[in-house]
Chains A and B, each alone.
Chain A
């Protein structure tokens, strides 16, 4: 009888709160369809980790610590940075860089919309976090879950759980976060600016194949700490564009993506123990994650407005907001906002180009943070 009651008797208010948090994540995934592929496994992993005396994570049997299967996955897949990197192969295989290759100027928005990372880094430093913790919190602004997990694992593994939850939650909330910021910074007339849909130059197959190879060489030679991040992303893209390994490309897009997403999600969820998650710093991190997304959006929009001062053919400043890496959510949001301002406006391909530029920008930002923070 004593053994049967050991679990319920060990329940603490912290566990109960974590069950509510986990339930909220699962509800957001199922009822609201916010990043369900990640939030659902994360929520369930959090339940497994917060069951008192859970055998799913490290637990004590007969005075000895026994490693649980989820703790083993943390050691093998997260501490080694393997899971986020494998996700990058899948992401690379899914991304079509053609809209960016047709209009490479859109890359600049992928740079400007990383502004939130650095604003948040400074705010976190002011809030009393160490430089490495601040960098890990700032990287939420990369709007890229794997990059956030990768940097947090290197710099502040004890903050990885709230950082991951913030990154994935705010990516899902892009349709709610971006429109008010954009409306605040642009007039209706600016949002109605039409962009030419006929300026798409043709892109050769050789260009599509050489782009991921040369970009990897260029970025990795200059910032070696970015090699794994950019290399895995571009390897996935090379599989897609090579045209001779369709089986591998489809495997990366489907089997690899699905399998690693399941493992990554439930493993991250398992690190959300009450002791690790229910701290004042978690609320601060969630708040600063929102700040990062707001300043990313503002950085992109304001940069586009700055460019317009010197351009004859104006760009719609909303395109700047697509420079964040939340692909393809941000592009869809901006296209919809453009049609609200002018039903004839077609911004989708420009928005997608800036959005994939943001994917490259976020990986480069992650690499630079790794190189600059000592």
Chain B
């Protein structure tokens, strides 16, 4: 049986788990969007033809 303190800590840990995993996915989705945006706006210049 968990003590009230341990139960409270566990509940906080669960809350952090939910927010943490959500936060990481939100960040990664933002970075995904950032890379997509950069790659569309800043296309590499075509290679120069060699004679």
Number of interface residues of B (CB under 8 A): 30
**Is residue A28 within 8 Å, beta carbon to beta carbon, of the partner chain?**
no
Q: Could you tell me the dominant secondary structure of chain B's interface residues?
A: helix
Residues of chain A touching chain B, judged by Cβ–Cβ distance below 8 Å, are 100-101, 104-105, 107-108, 110-112, 114-115, 117-119, 121-122, 124-126, 128-131, 134-135, 201-207, 210-211, 214-215, 218-219, 222-223, 357, 360-361, 364-365, 368-369, 372-373
* A217 closest partner in B (C-beta): B34
Which A residues touch B44, using CB under 8 A?
Answer: 202-205
Q: Which of B2-51 contact A (CB under 8 A)?
A: 2, 6, 9-10, 12-14, 16-17, 19-21, 23-25, 27-32, 34-36, 38-39, 42-45
Q: With A126-B6, A204-B42, A368-B23 given, is the CB distance from A110 to B13 under 8 Å?
A: no
* A374 closest partner in B (C-beta): B12
Number of interchain pairs (Cβ within 8 Å): 114
* A361 closest partner in B (C-beta): B24
Which B residues touch A357, using CB under 8 A?
Answer: 28
Whether the Cβ atoms of B13 and A134 lie closer than 8 Å is: yes
CA distance in complex: A115, B29 (Å): 16
CA distance in complex: A332, B9 (Å): 38
CA distance in complex: A372, B17 (Å): 10
Whether the Cβ atoms of B42 and A130 lie closer than 8 Å is: no
CA distance in complex: A203, B38 (Å): 9
Whether the Cβ atoms of A131 and B9 lie closer than 8 Å is: yes
The 10 closest A-B pairs by CB, nearest first: A118-B17, A125-B13, A104-B35, A204-B44, A111-B28, A206-B42, A111-B24, A107-B28, A125-B10, A207-B38
CA distance in complex: A156, B14 (Å): 20
Query: Can you show 14 pairs from A to B with CB atoms below 8 A apart?
Result: A100-B35, A101-B39, A108-B28, A111-B25, A111-B27, A125-B10, A129-B9, A130-B9, A134-B13, A207-B39, A214-B34, A219-B27, A364-B24, A372-B16
